[in-house]
Amino acid sequence: MAGRGARLYWAIQWRRNDGLGALFLVLAVFAVVYAVLFHGIFAIGAASKFVQGWFPTAMVAAAQTIVMLTGGIDLSVGPMVSLGSVVAASSMDGPLGVFGGVLSVLVLGAVVGAIVGVFVAIGRYPAIIVTLALSFVLRGVALLIMPRPGGFVPPLLSDFLAGVHPTTAILLLLLVIIWKLYQATPLGLGLIAAGDNAEGAYRSGVSVTAARMCAYVVSSVLQALAGLYMAAKTGSGDPLIGEPMTLAAISAAVLGGVGFLGGQGTMRGALAGSLLMSILISVMFFLRLPLVAQYIVQGLIIIVTVALPLIRVWWRRTA
Amino acid sequence: MGVQNAVLGAHNVSKAFFGNPVLREVSIQLAAGRIHALLGENGAGKSTLINLLSGTLAPDSGEILVDGRPVTALTPREAHDLGIAVVQQELSLASHLSIAENIGLGAYTRRGGLVDYGRLAAAVAEIGKELGLVESPDTPVGRLPLGRRQIVEIAKALYIKPRILIFDEPTSSLAAPDVALLMRLVRRLRDRGVAILYISHRLNEILDFCDYVTVLKDGSVTADRPLAGLDPTGLVRLMVGRDPRNLFLPYASQSTGALVLETKDFRAAAAVGIDFELYHGEILGVGGLVGHGQEDFMMGLCGAIPAKADHFRIFVDGEAVRSAPFASVAEANARGVAYIPADRRKEGLLLPHSIDFNLLLPLFASRSVERRRGAEESAITERLAQRLNIRGDRRRPAQALSGGNQQKVAVAKWLPLEPSVLLLNDPTRGVDVDTKREIYLALRAMAAEGKAVVLLSTDTPELVHLCDRVMVFHKGGVAATLPHAQASEEAIVAVAMGVQKAPALRGEAV
């Protein structure tokens, strides 16, 4: 019985790679280019530094994916990361220390996620409007708490999260495992069903509201934790550090094949998308491209990768 | 009227949408071990009744009874827990989840909080064997053709081991062998004591294996009786029997006999092999059950979807001007063919824009870049408004109008182009009686001017009273073209249901 279940489970998981071939191929090509350009990547120091650079993007890409799977979108990712970093850096010198800091960040994420969830899942407001408005509020609150970078993060925490060791890689692995477990619960599958066919899911007895609500809370907590990680990495809080991450999260998810209409996409795709963007930035850094050129190349890669399946369909039709 | 072993029932339920009554004091009782047929024309309220019985909608008044006890605020989830399953016509599947995950959706067994994939695999294998579901259970549902998805939908209903099973047109997209399989399955379930409610437009299926029938007509129950002793004709009579309303003008043919369009073996999407000709001054009806190709036929004629034909002619002043179906709507419009879509809110009008602007829109499309002339425009819109009796300030946005008046705008806007062929897709759906009458008058007036009117309608009396001829679609083709004298409601419904091809039923003289 158990063997049969495992067989079905892994067969389903394997089928979810459908349509990701192009992305994996592009990713492999750039990974090889990067390794050729920079042999040092295989040393523990450079490797952990690379993973630490990628990790926050991976987290926000995951956060965006969860929301997009429900058929929503989150435009407040960047300000939420900033606020997370600010709250982390201003609460760690309290009586509860690091523990208090982490707890505050978790509470922040859960509360903000619940607020979005109330509007979107219960009030049926469009996610794009709610999170756009929220992005202004969060940005304002972050700047109120900490008008300029500062605050305090214990060096011990910084070293634990961003030192020369594979802790971050382990955290990433943990993130993947937790997602896999979540996706194997009725609530996790309900999330995909609700994004794909909300009416049908509701008629099937899925609690669509709970699935969406849960998605927003989980997503916000992930974003807040990404902020905490940024604070630990830089050693201080910064009210604007998350700004580029809103679009980075959407780009990574789109690169990873996550659809805007809901129900379509995989976490592995989004993570691969964020990894591709990280590698791209590193490669262009090694090629000494000016920053402006990097933006252009980044945009072009997204367009090309997204267009690859279309080109393949067109190719098949004409052949 | 209580039934001994009634497991699910509705008692005097009523439901209205936006003040429009859909069900009026309807009662129905499903009994264990009985196959109960629910019959009615499109729009009779069948789907609404199912939604009430399965907890998707709540009745405005009346009660839903489970095992004789009233349940309040039934939700789909509770309905599931009570053993009520529905095979939806609008499939309830998630296309990116696998077959197995879809079958278990909403009712997974868990182990330690996680979905128990072992149990799921076993259950899916068992149901799959019963249903002939040969596809691998890990296949994403989006990869399956529609008929196979229907089988998954059925499997999903069986997964919860229901006591009450509701089928909403389960065979509409099934291949013949699957239909036979389904019939055997339904009989087996009945013998196990499951209460079954079966909705289908296939009368032969119903006569074949249902035990009891409830007929809905315009939201009321018109028959509730055992099926024994009924034949197809009897069933059809139960479905159409209604009070005649003084809605239609006396019929008078205005057909001139001059050809405006003829085509042979016309094909567009689901519509295949259609031969027909159209005359100036004629009102040609298009009937049939929803989804038998008539919409595709209309869309293909006006160039909205790709169409092919062995022979295609459009005549202007007796001269053939075109020998192939239109490739685009603009081409059709240029040759005097205009299409008025069924969904006026989405396809027929720009709701936020003014009535005037909507009335002028086709005219804009026919012109190149030039300055708009206010005086000329207002003269045109004034004339159109008078012609179709569109009252009030025309600077209001179109959404301010009632559905019927919106429809009048959607029709009127084509008139400045002087079309010779008007294709109307169900123009009176959801329109009140008075406006219906105005629309009928307008159609008559247009025919009198020599325009050819093709009227697709789901309202059978319209076809009977207005049309010179009625083409009845069945399974993508024209099953019969009935001349006015033979186009009775019974005849049209019988042909649409595939009961008989030739109009042997005697038409009532009108």
Which one of B94, B107, B137 has the shortest CB-CB distance to A196?
A: B94
3-state helix, strand, coil in chain B (%, to 5): 35, 25, 40
Cα–Cα distance, A309 to B281 (Å, whole number): 51
Residues of B in CB contact (< 8 Å) with A are 54, 56, 76-77, 79-80, 86, 88, 90-98, 100-102, 105-108, 110, 113-122, 136-140, 156
pLDDT value at residue B19: 67
Q: Which residue of A has its CA nearest to B79?
A: A205
Predicted local confidence at residue A272, as pLDDT: 96
A205 part of contact set with chain B, CB < 8 Å:
yes
What value does the mean pLDDT take over residues B209-234? 87
Decide if B156 and A203 are in contact by the 8 Å CB cutoff: no
User: CA-nearest residue of chain A to B91?
Assistant: A200
Predicted local distance difference test score (pLDDT) of residue B300? 93
Which whole number is the average pLDDT over B180-193? 90
Q: Is A196 on the interface with B (CB under 8 A)?
A: yes
B79 phi, psi to nearest 5 deg: -60, -40
Query: Is there a contact between B482 and B472 (Cβ–Cβ < 8 Å)?
Result: yes
pLDDT recorded at residue A39: 85
CA distances from A223 to A57, B109, B493, B505 (A): 10, 32, 60, 70
Whether pLDDT at B506 is above 50: no
Q: What is the pLDDT of residues B136-151, one digit of tens each?
A: 999 999 988 888 888 9
The H or E element containing residue B71 is: strand B69-71
What interface predicted TM-score (ipTM) does this complex get? Answer: 0.89
Closest Cα of chain A to B222: distance in Å? 29
Min Cα separation B53/chain A (Å)? 12
Q: Kindly tell me if the per-residue pLDDT of B247 is higher than 70.
A: no
> Given CB atoms, is A262 within the 8 Å cutoff of chain B?
no
Question: Given this model, what pLDDT does residue B505 score?
Answer: 43
- Give the DSSP letter string of A79-120: HHHHHHHHHHHHHTTSTTHHHHHHHHHHHHHHHHHHHHHIII
Q: Would you call A17 an interface residue with chain B, using a CB distance cutoff of 8 Å?
A: no
Looking at per-residue confidence, does A68 or B403 come out higher? A68
Answer whether A184 touches B (CB < 8 Å). yes
| CB-based contact A192 B93, cutoff 8 Å | no
Structure tokens of A179? 């997602």
* Range with the poorest average pLDDT among A201-215, A257-271, B13-27: B13-27
Average pLDDT, chain A: 91
d(CA B1, CA B14): 19
Domains of chain A with bracketed CATH: 29-34+41-306 (1.10.3470)
Cβ–Cβ < 8 Å for B195, B36: yes
pLDDT bucket at B437, cuts 50 / 70 / 90: confident
What is the model's pLDDT at position A275? 95
Mean pLDDT, rounded, of chain B: 87
* % pLDDT > 70, chain B: 94
Within B345-497, residue ranges assigned H as helices are 355-365, 374-388, 403-412, 433-448, 460-466, 489-496
Q: Can you tell me the distance from the alpha carbon of A274 to that of A277, in angstroms, rounded to the nearest whole number?
A: 5
**Are B92 and A5 within 8 A, CB to CB?**
no
Instruction: Annotate B116-158 with DSSP letters as a single string.
Output: -HHHHHHHHHHHHHHHT--S-TTSBGGGS-HHHHHHHHHHHHH
Instruction: Provide, as residue numbers in chain B, all residues whose Cβ is less than 8 Å from the Cβ of A200.
Output: 88, 90-94
- Tell me which H or E stretch contains B21: strand B20-31
Q: Tell me B98's DSSP state.
A: B
Q: Which stretch of A286-300, B107-121, B348-362 has the lowest confidence by average pLDDT? A: A286-300
Cα–Cα dist A100/A84, whole Å = 13
Side chain identity at B497, as an amino acid letter? M
pLDDT at residue B504 tops 50: no
Tell how far CA B158 is from the center of its chain: 27
CB < 8 Å to B100, chain A: 8, 12
Contacts of B79 in chain A (CB under 8 A): 205
- Report angle CA B212, B131, B289 to the nearest 5 degrees: 50
A16 CB neighbours in chain B (<8 A) are 140
How many Å apart are CA B136 and CA B141, to the nearest integer? 11
Cβ neighbours for B504, distance < 8 A, ≥ 6 positions apart:
none
Spell out the residues 6+ positions from residue B329 whose beta carbon is closer than 8 angstroms to its own.
B302, B303, B304, B339
Q: Distance (Å) from the C-alpha of residue B282 to the closest C-alpha of chain A?
A: 43
CA atoms within 13 A on the CB side of B197: 31
- Average the pLDDT over each of A249-253, B266-270, B353-357, B366-370 and give the range with the smallest value: B366-370
Beta carbons of B77 and A263 less than 8 Å apart? no
Edge-to-edge strand order for the sheet containing B212-217? B84-87, B164-168, B195-199, B35-39, B212-217, B220-226
Interface contact B115-A200, CB threshold 8 A:
no
With beta carbons under 8 A apart, name residues in chain B contacting A191.
none
Of chain B, the end-to-end C-alpha distance in Å amounts to 38
Which domains, ranges and CATH numbers included, belong to chain B? 6-240 (3.40.50.300), 259-496 (3.40.50.300)
Hey, what are B367's tokens?
Answer: 């012109």
pLDDT of residue A271: 96
